[in-house]
Amino acid sequence: MQQLLAAAAEMQSQLLNAQQELADTTVEGTSGGGLVKAVVSGQGELLDLTISPEAIDPSDLSESAQTIADLVLAAIRDASEGASELQQEAMGPLAQGFGGEGGMPGMPGMPGMPGMPGMVQGRVADDDEE
């Protein structure tokens, strides 16, 4: 039991460190050949958005507005995809400890908690499922 508690404490520490690294990391996404740039944190929070003046066509403001909206969405999606990849890299190994192939750290062969009373496929059972 002591080994299980130590493994859980270590996993929690690793999780907190990974979350802090994500919060401190930024990812830039671009669209329109760099006309629009979006910066998000590693956690996916939009931090900055830059629109180049060249993205605006003063002779057709209506069309420019729609083009800019499309470019902004594309840049944010690009940055968010990068943040998602970072999250997978940072959190993926930790998630494996909860039901993944590797089991809990220090507890090989213990993939999560299946078979534990009150659990159904790794989740808490409803009263009528037990």
- Reply yes or no on whether the pLDDT at 8 is more than 60: yes
The domain tally of the chain equals 1
Would 115 be classed as within a structural domain?
no
Give 11-30 pLDDT, tens digit per residue.
888 888 888 888 888 999 99
Which CATH number is 75's domain given?
3.30.1310.10
Q: Which domain holds residue 56?
A: 2-96
Would 110 be classed as within a structural domain?
no
In this predicted structure, what is the pLDDT of residue 113? 40
Cβ contact 23:41 at 8 Å: yes
Give 55-114 pLDDT, tens digit per residue.
999 999 999 999 999 999 999 999 999 998 988 888 776 666 555 444 444 444 434 444
Cβ contact 27:86 at 8 Å: yes
Burial of 102 (0-12, 13-18, 19+ CB in 10 A): middle
Would 57 be classed as within a structural domain?
yes
Percentage of residues in the chain having pLDDT higher than 70: 71
Would 107 be classed as within a structural domain?
no
Residue with the bigger pLDDT between 53 and 3: it is: 53
DSSP letter string over the chain?
-HHHHHHHHHHHHHHHHHHHHHHH-EEEEEEGGGTEEEEEETTS-EEEEEE-GGG--TT-HHHHHHHHHHHHHHHHHHHHHHHHHHHHHHHHHHHHTTTSTT-BTTBTT--S-TT-TTEETTEEPPTTT-
In this predicted structure, what is the pLDDT of residue 19? 82
